[in-house]
Amino acid sequence: MIASTAKRPRTKPAEIRREELMDAAQALFLEKGFAATSVDEIVKQADVAKGTFYLQFKTKEDVLVALRERFVATFCARLTKAMDGPPVEAWSDRLDAWIETVVHGYLDHVALHDLVFHEHVSSHLRIGHDDPVITQLAALLAAGARRGAWTTKDANLSALMLFHAVHGAVDSVIVSPKPAEREALIDGIRAFCHQALRIRSSTGR
């Protein structure tokens, strides 16, 4: 008979522990709210020692900042994939893909979006010119303008204004007692953006 030796479980890599803590915090923040959730509850949910939390984060707000960064990174990855779908020179199609993905991404994750951007406002959580989603749109607008696909004197300013216009349109639907259908909302936003950029219907086709 061969004696079996019990193997001790391997310690998980720090990056996995970090993700587990973030997942646990996200679930609790969404369920109870940021203010009502304690670090003790987060470590219990993640099934880790309290010291592990403080190896990864100094405060509960640091977790929220990390959740926002993860949300934005995931959001931008979806946008990149969507814009890479149409041919490179199909500029209006790429812009439309950006618009559609933003609308669906926001509406599909309203609670998480509001958590990371509105639950606890601080200097680390403000949206500005350096927001990755706006930067991504500005790059698209600048590239399209160079190729004559549309008109914009300042791609960064146009991206900032269009982003907030889209954001506002989606917000108005969320709070409306009779929300519009998604496709109707997307069509309206698309028409507005095309008009703002003076896109002809044949551009990029």
Share of the chain above pLDDT 70, in %: 87
The pTM is what? Answer: 0.83
Which of these ranges, 10-24, 42-56, 132-146, has the smallest mean pLDDT? 10-24
C-beta separation of 63 from 57 below 8 A: yes
- Residue 78 tokens, joined: 């979806």
Q: Please name each of the domains of the chain with its CATH number.
A: 12-57 (1.10.10.60), 61-197 (1.10.357.10)
Task: Name the more confident of 163 and 173.
Answer: 163
Element (H, E) at 204: none
Task: Sort 166 into a burial class: Cβ within 10 Å, 0-12 / 13-18 / 19+.
Answer: buried
- What's the pLDDT band for 195 if we cut at 50, 70, 90? very high
The whole-angstrom separation of Cα 153 and Cα 31 is: 45
pLDDT digits (tens, 9 = 90+) for 75-112: 999 999 999 999 999 999 999 999 999 999 999 999 99
The whole-angstrom separation of Cα 141 and Cα 151 is: 9
For residue 125, pLDDT beyond 60: no
DSSP 72-115: HHHHHHHHHHHHTSS-TT-HHHHHHHHHHHHHHHHHHTHHHHHI
Mean pLDDT, rounded, of the chain: 88
